């Protein structure tokens, strides 16, 4: 088996393991709950609820707090993936080689 095929198969197996462990990590934590409003617009006589209208105002402290909590949750979740750094290094190495 060629070195490239061997490397690709190893990486595919690593991705499968990471996907499985990532899903387990995600199942253990819950993301922050988004703030929901009760805004309703009427278009041509039809009422259309827009519960997430608040997200249009990025200066709203509640929206900013949710975005920070979401970013913190995401970072913590990604940091729990075993061997993530090694996989990222390998992906970067191949991406850099492809552009050369």
pLDDT given for residue 95 in this prediction: 85
Q: What pLDDT, on a 0 to 100 scale, did the predictor assign at position 21?
A: 60
- Give the pLDDT of residue 47: 97
List the domain range (segments joined by +) for residue 22.
3-99
What pLDDT score was predicted for residue 22?
A: 56
Domain count, the chain: 1
Q: How do the pLDDT tens digits run along the chain, 100 residues long?
A: 566 666 766 776 666 766 666 565 555 678 999 989 999 999 999 999 999 999 999 999 999 999 999 999 999 999 898 998 898 898 898 888 776 6
Give me the phi and psi of 91, to 5 degrees please. Answer: -60, -45
Cα torsion angle, 82, 86, 89, 91, sign: negative
């Amino acid at each position: 088996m060629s070195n490239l095929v061997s490397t690709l198969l190893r990486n595919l197996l690593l991705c499968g393991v990471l996907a499985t462990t990532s899903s387990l990590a995600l199942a253990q934590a819950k993301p922050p709950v988004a703030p929901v409003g009760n805004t309703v617009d009427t278009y041509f006589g039809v009422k259309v609820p827009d519960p997430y209208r608040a997200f249009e105002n990025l200066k709203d402290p509640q929206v900013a707090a949710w975005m920070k909590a979401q970013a913190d949750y995401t970072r913590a979740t990604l940091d729990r993936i075993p061997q993530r750094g090694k996989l990222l290094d390998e992906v970067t190495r191949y991406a850099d080689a492809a552009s050369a």
